[in-house]
């Protein structure tokens, strides 16, 4: 699954993100996520100090929970 992210705070930027799944057992699925984007200086340096879990954590967890529900009902 691919998606486009648009951040408004702490700075306006866009990124591409993905979730990929892989069956590792009858009732287990491995999920990977990641994202990529470009950011110019000095914002790219400042990003080193941003806690992305704090920025995206709640939304990513919600997405993983929804994905789990979908996979378990199929």
Indicate the domain borders of the chain.
Answer: 2-73
**Amino acid 50: pLDDT:** 67
**Amino acid 51: pLDDT:** 63
**Amino acid 21: pLDDT:** 85
| Reported pTM | 0.53
**Amino acid 52: pLDDT:** 63
Name the helix (H) or strand (E) containing 16.
strand 13-25
Could you give the C-alpha distances from 56 to 33, 52, 61, 71, 73, in angstroms and in order? 12, 6, 8, 22, 26
**Mean pLDDT, 10 residues at a time, the chain of 74 residues:** 82 82 86 78 72 72 85 77
């Amino acid at each position: 699954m691919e998606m486009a992210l648009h951040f408004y705070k702490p700075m306006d930027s866009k990124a591409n993100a993905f979730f990929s799944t892989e069956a590792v057992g009858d009732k287990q699925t491995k999920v990977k996520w990641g994202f990529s984007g470009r950011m110019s200086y000095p914002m790219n340096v400042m990003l080193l100090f941003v806690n992305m879990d704090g920025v995206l954590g709640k939304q990513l967890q919600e997405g993983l929970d929804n994905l789990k529900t979908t996979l378990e009902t199929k």
